[in-house]
Structure 1
Amino acid sequence: MPDRFGPRGVIALFIPLQNANMQPEYEAMRPEGVNNQIYRITLAQADRVPEATLSAIDGALGCYPDLIVIGNSVEMRGITPPQFDEYRAKLQQKIGDVKLVTATDATVVALRAMGAKRIAAISPMSDEYSQNVANYYDSLGFDVPYNAGLQVARPQDIINIGYEEALAAFRKIDHDDVDTFLHVGAALGIIDHIEALEKELGRPVITVNISTYWHALRTLGIKDPLRGYGQLAQKT
């Protein structure tokens, strides 16, 4: 419920333990009157992230949030849309009447808001993860002919990826028949690069952390434009 530090809303944000970029990125986008509360989940067992999230979710209810956000891109793990629907239902059952936003749902909403049809996708780590991403969005009706991983070997190194490396990854999948670029994998902190990337590439770039926080605010009925974070962030 709204409180002293969040008269417009309290958001409980779940982020992986090692993703040191996500808390400052969410805070950078936070409009006045919104209270961000951060909770952590472990990715120690990469194939059991949904289970780890479900086991941690109860802790967030103590701050009486108006919205719970799950900031992890589970589609990289090879989950299918029906499996994700089941996971989302379990999350909602855990939190009851509290509103829920997931990073996976948010990127879908963002792509549709931008009118994306034929997209190219990147993720921070392996090509296998990026292919999982392509398979997931393709199954939802998007055409995803191109994807690539940045091949970052250690999760803790992802935060150090800069603009030039991110741009090089997008250029690998830059084809004239692509109308939108997608970045999935929230440990890759590029929200401050999005406007420059969109200028360089000449098309929208949907990145997971902007999509997630934008969708969270809109779900709460907060329509402030998020200036400095690209085309999606201006949409009300």
Structure 2
Amino acid sequence: MPNRFGPRGVIALMIPLQNGNMQPEYEAMRPEGVSNQIYRFSLAQPDDVAEAVIGALPGARGCYPDLIVCGNSLEMRHWSVERQALYRAEVQDAVPEVPVITATDAVETALRTIGAKKIAVLSPMSEVYSKSVASYYSGLGF
């Protein structure tokens, strides 16, 4: 819902508690007239990140957002295309009145938009999680 600081709209950004870079990066990309509202979740339990995001989503309703962006890459966990579809549904069920974009879905959309056929991924994660990334994008046909 637009407000005096965001007459064009309000975006609720779900970002990791432990990530100090994302908030200023999102602020640098913020279009004029849009208000970014930050909501955080913990990465303390790496395999429970999806649940942490879903648990933090109800708090984002308080700013009456026009859009919620979940800015974390879940494919960098034990993840699959099927698990992403389930997660997407769980996220939308948590805030049915607000459109939600996940970083994982945004990456897929961007790759398809530019016509990518093959990709390479550089991952700062463990070997196990890096294999999950490769498996996830292979499952999408890349």
TM-score (norm 1): 0.59
Q: Which deviations, in whole Å up to 9, do the C-alpha atoms of 1:161-182 show, x marking residues without a partner? A: xxxxxxxxxxxxxxxxxxxxxx
SS at match of 2:38: strand
Runs of 4 or more, structure 1, over 6 Å off, are none
**Cα distance in 2 for residues equivalent to 1:4 and 1:136:** 41
Q: Which deviations, in whole Å up to 9, do the C-alpha atoms of 1:216-236 show, x marking residues without a partner? A: xxxxxxxxxxxxxxxxxxxxx
The letter of the residue matching 1:6 is G
TM-score (norm 2): 0.96
1:110 is displaced (CA, Å) by: 0.7
SS at match of 2:120: strand
Find the counterpart in structure 2 of residue 47 from structure 1. 47
Q: Does 1:65 align with 2:65?
A: yes
1:128 is displaced (CA, Å) by: 2.4
**Cα distance in 1 for residues equivalent to 2:45 and 2:86:** 20
**Cα distance in 2 for residues equivalent to 1:127 and 1:25:** 27
The letter of the residue matching 1:100 is V
Where relative contact order (Cα < 8 A, 6+ residues apart) is larger, the structure is 2
SS at match of 1:120: coil
1:37 is displaced (CA, Å) by: 0.4
1:70 is displaced (CA, Å) by: 0.6
Q: Which deviations, in whole Å up to 9, do the C-alpha atoms of 1:187-207 show, x marking residues without a partner? A: xxxxxxxxxxxxxxxxxxxxx
The letter of the residue matching 1:52 is A
SS at match of 2:119: strand
Matches within 5 A, 1:108-119: 108-119=108-119
Total equivalences in the alignment? 142
Greater gyration radius? 1
The letter of the residue matching 1:26 is Y
The letter of the residue matching 1:94 is A
1:129 is displaced (CA, Å) by: 2.0
Q: Does 1:56 align with 2:56?
A: yes
Calculate percent identity across the aligned residue pairs. Answer: 64
Q: Does 1:107 align with 2:84?
A: no
Across the aligned residues of Structure 1 and Structure 2, the Cα RMSD in angstroms comes to 0.9
